Amino acid sequence: MADDVRQRTDDELAALLRRRQDLARPAPADLSSLAARASTRASVQRAVDSLDLAHLQVLEAAVAATSPLDTTAVGTLLGVTPSEIEALLDDLWTLALLWGSPEGLRVTRTVVEVLPHPAGLGPRAADTFVDIPPTDTIPALLADAPAAARAILDRLTWGPPLAVLPPGTPERLATGARWLLEHHLVFSPSADQLVLPREVALALREGRSHAAPALQPPGLEGQTRAAAEVDAAAGQQVTDLLALVDELAAEWGLRPPRVLRSGGLAVRDLKRLASVLDVDEARAAFVAELTYAAGLLADDGSLDPSWAPTPAYDEWQQHPGDQRWAVLARAWLLTTRAPHLVGTTPAGASGTVNALGPDAHWPPARGLRRDVLDQLAAAPVGLAPDRARVGTALGWHRPRRVPASLDTVVAAVLGEAEWLGVTGRGAISSAGRALLAGRSDAELAAAMQPHLPEPIEHVLLQADLTAIAPGPLAGGLATFMRLVADVESRGGATVYRFNQDSVRRCLDAGWSVDQVLGALTDASHTPVPQPLDYLIRDVARRHGQARVGAMRAYIRCDDEATLGAMIADRELSPLQLRNIAPTILVSPVAAETVLDFLRENGFAPAAETPDGGIIVPTAGQHRTPLQRRPAPITAQAVDDELVTTMVGALRAGEEAAAYQREEVASRPGPSLPSTDPTTTLAVLRDAAADRQSVWLGYSDADGRVLRILFYPERVEGGRVHGTADGAARTLSIHRVTGAVQG
């Protein structure tokens, strides 16, 4: 193989490195090491995994065929003419999964390891040294086979070639298996296994390696949509999406949800978001994840963290719709987050996946998303392929890398692409194509721009206290309308409803009543309806009527002159006294300080409790509340009863100790001190070298220390091998408590 690699032209080597990029990192020193690396198992595995079904099937047929390869034979295995597979074989050679020997193409040896059962075929009979009947006699043999034997063969023929017949297999099957073994149609590598040799399988398959060779990619089928319709639908989705993102930001800007301790968004908050956006939870999760992926939303990083829009959102919001879309679309294409996982329960986990949480991060998402979109992009213009077809096509392109959840992923990607306007009514939109072609943001925006409705700068105000924007509103007006009214219905147009709460919200945000009415008059072609005008003025009438603030102390006094003197007193200026009613002053300074200051300056204030009572001063006589002390523990006196019991116990202990001493004395061999491992090792090594025995203290699996007379033979890897009681044993050194030469 090294020779083959050395003989490749520069272009061929470049192709190899391009297609198996792992070979180039780190750069191999020379061509021999390139060849060596190309045949490592990890690299070959990677190369085989990235093959499409056509290449994989040809490679499997090549592995099943005899070496060196005969193109005709490989073709026969696949049931095609040699010309159909030549290009594929050539490709496999470029990938260095095949190599050219002087006799012809051969399969790289590692490939055989990676594909142990190519196309579900078992090992060759010749390799496993078993006899099989001549292949041309097999059909005749099978004519006499019992039904059970046929059934077993039918199961094994198209692989996997291995059958397990556990004890307790029904007698009928066992008889069938016996018949097959007797006639050498299968062999049995162990007591309960049957293996179908490759030659027999091929004979049963009538010389074919694959039941369904698929050398051509499956076509996508589905409904065809007019290009204009596709782009219009995409535009409509984008309008919706941008409105949803704005609404999310408006909602979370006001009421940011908490970040869970494990990261992510609480299920309850997601539900609330879904109801605010008036979409289902899957879509709400998508909008949140997308906004997060685009950097428009983040954990605010505070001590009690919450999710809130970032400054990037404010900047983003100022751009026209097409540019805003470009930012979102690109973020989606590159993100490794998988919104469709939100709400599912991953295998082995107890809880569900939270939106914005660590579990919704799924690196394969990006690759799979790209693969799905590439399938769509490869389809004819305007084709909206069936979801199942996309799954099948994806399976053909990556047969060995199909995730178990392929259908879910395909459905999720197609759904998200639709929400994002990358597709419209299932077919890829022109802007979606631009996205996949890796165009610049400006080009992306330009592709989407014609399909988005022109932003408008007016609303229609109606007497039922609604305002209708018959199209997407320009940035500033949209923000104002969302502030002053609640969104009631969304789509091409937006319906806003004014109510007391929404108007109050606007006034709370610092707008004055004249500003609000002015802004509405400017935004509307018609005069502000009387009921709306009345509502706003009515809310404003009461807005701020009552004021709430926090202070740390108040001074009340029925004599206004005294209070006037306090405000005028310069010495009291550090108290920052303020008059909030003729008889009340307030101060942001603590009450004790205020008291002290006033007393120092000749006033005679009394302190007041929160419920208005007078605090009677207890100056100089501080008391602390009673503290509970633990009662002292006293010992009981030693009485007769205790003494009698104790003496009995002492006697019994003494007897036991004597017995133990006696037993130790009766043991064979010396007493065993505890020795440290280094010493133990030295003792054991010496004994092994001198072929002498040692007494060992050995702690067994139950923690008991056994005394063993041991004949060590060699010490290695932390173990000592030798014999004890005539049986070979291997002991771990770390379990030896002590060793003494015997």
Partner 1 sequence: MPDGPLIVQSDKTLLLEVDHPRAEEARRAIAPFAELERAPEHIHTYRVTPLGLWNARAAGHDAEQVVNALITFSRYAVPHALLVDVADTMDRYGRLTLEKDPEHGLVLRTTDRPVLEEVLRHKKIKPLIGERIDADRVIVHPSERGHLKQELLKVGWPAEDEAGYVDGEAHAIDLDNKDWSLRPYQQQAVDGFWHGGSGVVVLPCGAGKTLVGAGAMAVAKATTLILVTNTVSARQWRDELLKRTSLTDEEIGEYSGARKEIRPVTIATYQVLTTRRKGVYTHLDLLDARDWGLIIYDEVHLLPAPIFRMTADLQARRRLGLTATLVREDGREADVFSLIGPKRYDAPWKDIEAQGYIAPADCVEVRVTLPDADRLAYAVAEPEDRYRLSSCSPVKNPVVERIVAQHKGEPTLVIGQYLDQLAELSERLNADVITGETPVAQRQKLFQAFRVGEISLLVVSKVANFSIDLPEASVAIQVSGTFGSRQEEAQRLGRVLRPKGDGRTAHFYTVVSRDTVDAEFAAHRQRFLAEQGYAYRIVDADDVDATA
Q: Which residues bind partner 1 (CB under 8 A)?
A: 229, 232-233, 235-236, 239-240, 278, 425, 453, 460-466, 468, 470-471, 489-493, 495, 526, 529-531, 534, 542
**Residue spans of alpha helices (H) in 80-170:** 82-94, 109-114, 138-143, 147-157
Most distant CA pair in the chain, distance? 126
Total number of residues shown for the chain: 742
The CA-based angle 690-692-696, given to 5 degrees, is 130
Place of tokens 């063969």: 153
Shortest Å, Cβ 462 to partner 1: 4
Q: Smallest distance from the beta carbon of 277 to partner 1, in angstroms?
A: 11
Tokens representing 79 are 């049931």
Q: How far is CA 266 from CA 76, 237, 249, 521, in A?
A: 60, 27, 17, 41
Can you tell me the distance from the alpha carbon of 190 to that of 194, in angstroms, rounded to the nearest whole number? 8
Q: Which is nearer to partner 1, 399 or 453 (CB)?
A: 453
How far CA 345 is from CA of 126, 337, 611, 647, 722, in Å, comes to: 49, 16, 54, 65, 53
Distance CA 106, CA 1 (A): 9
As measured in angstroms, the least distance from the Cβ of 236 to partner 1 is 4
Q: How many CA atoms lie within 13 A of 148 on its CB side?
A: 14
Place of tokens 């790289």: 108
Q: In the complex with partner 1, which residue's Cβ is closer, 309 or 382?
A: 382
Cis peptide before 160 (omega within 30 of 0): yes
CB of 429 to partner 1, least distance (A): 12
Q: Give SS3 for 167.
A: coil
Query: To the nearest whole angstrom, how small is the minimum distance from the Cβ of residue 296 to partner 1?
Result: 22
Q: Which of these, 387, 485, 393, 373, lies nearest to 433 by C-alpha position?
A: 373
Q: Which residue number, 461 or 585, has a Cβ lying nearer to partner 1?
A: 461
Neighbouring CB atoms inside 10 A of 346's CB total: 12
Task: Output the six-digit token pair for 373.
Answer: 């979109």
Smallest distance, partner 1 to C-beta of residue 415, A: 11
Task: Tell which residue, 409, 248, 237, has the closest CA to residue 338.
Answer: 409
Cβ proximity of 402 and 410 under 8 Å: no
401 or 490: CB nearest partner 1: 490
In the complex, the smallest distance separating the C-beta of residue 456 from partner 1, rounded to whole angstroms, is 11
What are the φ/ψ torsions at residue 361 (nearest 5 degrees)? -90, 115
Cβ proximity to partner 1, 187 vs 498, nearer residue: 498
Residue 429 backbone dihedrals phi, psi, to 5 degrees: -85, 165
Minimum distance from residue 517 beta carbon to partner 1 (Å) = 15
Q: Find the shortest distance in angstroms from Cβ 499 to partner 1.
A: 8
Name which of 297 and 539 has its Cβ closer to partner 1: 539
| Minimum CB distance to partner 1, residue 530 (Å) | 5
Q: Is the dihedral of CA 441, 446, 449, 451 positive or negative?
A: negative
How far is C-alpha 362 from the geometric centre of its chain's CA atoms? 4
Considering beta carbons, is residue 357 or 471 the nearer one to partner 1? 471
Q: Which is nearer to partner 1, 469 or 684 (CB)?
A: 469
Question: Which of 229/386 has CB closer to partner 1?
Answer: 229
Name the residue among 488, 421, 498 with its Cα closest to residue 453. Answer: 421
209 in Cβ contact with 78 (< 8 Å): yes
For the chain, how big is the Rg over CA atoms in Å?
Answer: 43
Among residues 337 and 425, whose Cβ is nearest to partner 1?
425
The residues facing 297 across adjacent strands are 309
CB of residue 531 to partner 1, shortest distance in Å: 6
Which C-beta is closer to partner 1: that of 534 or that of 659? 534
| DSSP assigned state of 430 | H
Nearer to partner 1, 415 or 475 (CB): 415
C-beta closer to partner 1: residue 56 or 277: 277
Q: Do 250 and 276 meet the contact criterion of CB atoms below 8 Å apart?
A: no
Cβ 225 to partner 1, closest distance in Å? 10
CB of 536 to partner 1, least distance (A): 12
Is residue 124 within 8 A of residue 117, CB to CB? The reply is no
Measured CA angle at 35 (ends 33, 39), to 5 deg: 115
Minimum distance of partner 1 from residue 460's CB (angstroms): 4
Smaller CB separation from partner 1, 541 or 714? 541
